[in-house]
Structures are given as structure tokens and as C-alpha cells.
Chain A
């Protein structure tokens, strides 16, 4: 008889074992669930003020200022600018090289380096370079695509994309101490505070 390997069962077992030997090594962090965006915002500000750095907020829509409150930085605008300049310069260089050096065509004695005619493609490739960079940086710097993340171990977490707001302080933070962090999170008036398995 051939055995079929049952992925779901094995994942359940691993999760169960994970819960049995729950130590800081198997703990991703503590997640507090809030009902409103304002509640999460206040919590984020207080956690940052207390010195927590390795944490993240999870919200069903973007909240301006939350990233900043959690101390997240963003390099995308600079990268996009550089990519746009690079795209434009390389487009112009390509047109110049093709028309003047590689494949010169004398059409009624007109100048080979006819720069006004090179502008449309220069512009288009500037936009293309910048746009590709904006897109791939926004996903790539976030580590996407990412098939697995510990936050998905939390059953309630699926509401983060629907109607609930979460703050997770990660165990990797030097300030993290399970009982102390838990009592801090509970002081913020959340709906629940739960441990997130790794």
C-alpha cells in the first residue's frame, strides 16, 4: 500500500508541537487586536515611545502616519528618480548611437543628431524605467512574494484584511519580554492579545 503524504495533517501536527514547546524561540511575537484605526495608532505611538522597534501594524487600509509612528523608512522615491534618469539617458544614448554611429542615414543632408525627434522615446523610457522600479521596489523591499509568514498562524489575522487592526511586537525586539510586553499591550485597551507562533 502506498502512503499518501498528508500535508495538512503534518502542518497541523507541527503547529501542535509548536504550541507544546512554546518558548521564545518558537514565538514570533505578541499581537494585539484593535477595533478602530485610532486605537491602533495610539498603541503604535506608545509602543514606539517605550522603545519597541521590531513591530508592525496590520490594517485593512493604509493609515497615513502609521509607518512613521512605527519607525518605518522608505527609500522608494529616490530609487524611482534614479531609475527614471537612467531610463531616459540610456534611451537617448541608444537613439544617438543608432542614428549617428551605428547606422547613419543621410536623408537630404539633414543632421544625423536630430535631437528633437529623439525626445518622445526618451520620455517614454524615462517613465518606463521609473515605473518598473516603483512597482518592483514596492513589492521587493517588502519581501514579496513571500509564501509564508508567522502572522498567518494567528487565526484572527484574516480579519486584518477586512475590518480589524493589529499591532504585533516581535520577540526579536531586544525590549521584548513575554509577560511585560503582554501587560503593556493589555493596557492599551485592545480586544485581545495573543501569542503568534513562529
Chain B
């Protein structure tokens, strides 16, 4: 991957300065021309170390914090009054909480995809976005994990889900996908946290060494754990990082597969399907990339990071988002086909009900957001324009939430016996949990941007040292 950097000296300086063009005719560099170690350190480090944040940061933070307060209110009221506050009932026992859970877990997946899978494939275009995407994973999984807990009814007894030596002599039911979920999401959160922190240690060491203020030296010095950039440290950190990437790759596929098994193992029409695991994983990466784009486009603009997060990143992310979107669209087609082909009256009715039943309009919103609007990404001009890309990604994020609503609610509300049919109407508290969790996510993200380097400085320095990688096609 790296080798001895003799090549650095053999490349003439004017070659590095020129912006190389890809065959497609757009700038293909991962680093703006003329970057040095110091310019990279300064661009990324000063965001954290200087005192003042732009006004946009404050406005965004205040809004996010307000939503977080709404979340605390909704959760407190829920703990006092119970899940009857929500619109859930029998037959629709899984309402917004499970929709939100699947949505948030999915959003997290792009972070692991960017940081782990692209690392294993030597894709250098992960460098400027991996730290950010990993942080996003962490916060999204934290939001996701809260949802089923709040749905438990008695959330304070959540530890019943763990195999601990209890005085009741009980064990969790290990054959249940819901218990698999606990292990899958728990492992995913821990591994994401370790991966993120291991990559962060060298960067907080840089901040420690650049810090001027006393609290900054202490804060970053503590987090750096005494990291001193020695060859032995790097050797261990690199091998552990690579191993964690290798472990996170199958893990990320397993997590959303297990989540999909929550549905697929059940015999409810519209859930009982073998395509669910791959279709869920594709959907997860789809929505995750949409979320990365929705966050990184404004951040790049506000903090003037265009020299590090170049157009090439946006274009590549748009490509992956588009391809996974087509996979998801294929999933929709196969779902419809299989319900007809199964010859099962309940499956066939499910599809009719899903498209033209009482929630039919939700299905068509889903088609609009997830299938129709993303077709705009065929156009290179739309992919490379941050504004249009942002809008398309926003549609996809909404569409993926709606998709989970369609899967959860329209499948449950009319299953077998017409006498057991019902409707689900979300209440104010349903919506406040959804928007409140967005507030939690964004608050954590704003604090992350304020206190941690959002782009990996050590990896950016590596790109500076290896212009041939920075400009590879």
C-alpha cells in the first residue's frame, strides 16, 4: 500500500500542482493542489483549536439542542405514562419506535462501509470522509439502540435481554431474532467505537501538540493516552486498524441482516421473505450515504473544506448511493413479483393493500423518494453539483424512513383475519420521539465537529506524502 516513499521525490513539483482530469472530464484529485503537511494540519486542526465557531454552527446547534430537549421530554413522559402515549395498538404493535430503529441502524452502515470496506479495498477516497462517517455511525447506532429499549414498555428492565446470572434462573431465548439483535447491535456499537477511537488517537495527539490553551492541552493530552507517533505504535495501530476493518466488514452485513430477520422470521405477509437480508443491507448503505452527503455538503461549505473534501468524494459517494438505490429498487420489484408468484392469497392481498389500501399514498411517496427522484443521478451534472446532490440525498433519507414505515405498518395492519385488522395513527409523542432522536444525533454531531478533528489529519498527511495516491483514478 505504501512502501518507501522514494517516489515522492521523483515526481516533479509541477506535476503535483496541476489538477489532473479524469477521462470523464472532472477534477479527479483527492487533495487540492499545493497542500503541505502544515496546511493540512492547520485547515483541520484550527476548526477545533480556535475559539470561535461560525454563526451557522451556533444556529444549527441551538436547533439541534432544542430538538434534544423535546426528546428528553418525550422520553420522560414515556417513562411516566408508558407506551400507550404512542399510536401503537394491536395489530400494529410495532410503530414508530421500530421504524426509527431500522432507519437509524441503516444510516450507521454507510460509516462502516466507508471506513472499513473502502479501507480494505485500498480506496483512497475514503480519507477525508471516514472520520466523519464513523462518528455518524456511532451516533446513529446510539439513537437506534434507544428505540427498541423505549418500546419495551418497562425500559428499566432492559438488562433482562443479556445473559447474566440472575436470581430467577432464566436465560434469554437464543433462538429469537430479537435477542440476536441485542448482540448484533451491541457488538456493532462497541466495534464502531473502538475503530473510531483507534483512528482518532494519533489525531488527538496532533491536537495536543498544537494546542495553545491549557484546557486543550489537558483534554487532548488525556485522550491521546501518551501516543508519541513511534514506529512501534504505528505498526500496532495500523495492524489493529486493518484487523478491525476486516472484522467490521462482515459485521456490518450481519447487523442489518439480523435486523431484517426480525421481520423475515415472522410469518406476517410482507415480512416473510428470503430477500430481506440483502435488500435491507443495500437499503442501509443507500440511506447511510444519503445521510453522509446531507451532512458533509453543508459542513464542507461552512468550514471551507473544499481543498480536502474535493468534488471527487461527492461524485464517488453519489455513485455508490445510486448503485445501492438501484439494488433497493430491484428489491421492491422482486417483493411485488414474489407476492404475485407465490399464489398465496394473503401475500397477494398484502401487495394490493400496500399500493392501493388506506396507506397506499405512503407507498407512492416511497416510490417517488427512493426510485423516481434518484434517477436524476444518471446525470453527471446533478451528481457534481453539491446543491442538487444534497436535495436528492434528502429525498432518499425521507424515502428510506418511509420504506420502513411501509414495511412495518402496512404489513401489520392487515394480516390474515379481517376481524383483526386495524389502523395506526401516529400521535404527537410518536413524532417527538422521531424528531427528538434527530436532535440527539445532530447535537452529538455538532459537538463532535467542535471538539474533534472531523477529517483524519494523519491520513491526510499520508496523502500529501503520496501525491500519486491522491490523484489516482
Contacts and interface: CB of A to CB of B under 8 A. Distances in A.
A134 B199 CA distance: 13
B157 interface: no
Contact of B231 (A66, A125, A148, A151): A66
Contacts of A76: 236, 239-240, 243
Interface residues of A, number: 67
B233 A142 contact: yes
Nearest to B207: A161
A89 interface: no
B191 A62 contact: no
Nearest to B38: A163
Interface stretch (A13-21, A34-42, A171-179, A180-188): A34-42
Interface string A123-154: 11101101110110111011111111101100
Given A76-B239, A98-B174, A127 B187 contact: yes
Contact of B232 (A64, A142, A157, A162): A142
Contact of B187 (A125, A134, A145): A125
Interface stretch (B1-9, B361-369, B403-411): B1-9
A131 B174 contact: no
B320 interface: no
B38 A117 contact: no
A125 B232 contact: no
Interface in B214-230: 225-230
A152 to B, nearest CB: 7
Nearest to A166: B229
B225 A58 contact: no
A175 B420 CA distance: 85
**Which of B197, B230, B250 is the most central at the interface, judged by chain A CB atoms within 10 Å of its CB?**
B230
Given A103-B171, A131-B247, A58 B229 contact: yes
Interface string B245-267: 00110110010001001000000
A64 B3 contact: yes
A43 to B, nearest CB: 12
B209 A58 contact: no
B190 interface: yes
Label chain B's interface by main secondary structure: helix
Given A74-B235, A160-B229, A134 B244 contact: yes
Contacts of A62: 2, 234-235, 237-238, 458, 462
A147 to B, nearest CB: 6
B134 to A, nearest CB: 14
A61 B175 contact: no
A108 B235 CA distance: 55
Contacts of A59: 229, 231, 234
B272 interface: no
B268 interface: no
A152 B202 CA distance: 15
B183 interface: yes
A74 B225 CA distance: 20
A189 interface: no
A99 B458 CA distance: 48
A67 B234 contact: yes
B170 interface: yes
B184 interface: yes
B25 interface: no
**Which of A121, A134, A143 is the most central at the interface, judged by chain B CB atoms within 10 Å of its CB?**
A134
Contacts of A147: 226
Contacts of B179: 121
Interface string A45-82: 00000000000111111111111001010101100100
Contacts of A134: 194, 240, 243-244, 247
B397 interface: no
Contacts of A41: 4-5
A102 interface: yes
B247 A159 contact: no
A65 B3 contact: yes
A61 B237 contact: no
Contacts of A160: 209, 228-229
Nearest to A44: B231
Given A121-B180, A135-B240, A161-B206, A60 B461 contact: yes
Contacts of B251: 124, 127
A175 B163 CA distance: 56
Interface of B: 1-6, 8-9, 36-38, 41, 163, 169-175, 177, 179-180, 183-184, 186-187, 190-191, 194-195, 197-198, 201-202, 205-206, 208-210, 225-241, 243-244, 247-248, 250-251, 254, 258, 261, 458-459, 461-462, 465
What are the 5 closest A-B residue pairs judged by CB atoms, nearest first? A138-B240, A67-B235, A163-B37, A158-B209, A146-B226
30 contacts: A36-B5, A56-B230, A56-B231, A59-B229, A59-B231, A61-B462, A62-B235, A62-B237, A63-B5, A64-B1, A66-B231, A72-B235, A74-B236, A102-B171, A120-B183, A120-B184, A120-B254, A121-B179, A127-B254, A128-B187, A131-B247, A137-B240, A138-B236, A138-B241, A139-B201, A139-B236, A142-B233, A161-B206, A162-B206, A163-B461
Given A57-B231, A59-B229, A147-B226, 12 more contacts: A38-B9, A56-B232, A62-B462, A63-B4, A64-B3, A121-B183, A127-B250, A131-B244, A138-B198, A138-B240, A161-B229, A163-B41
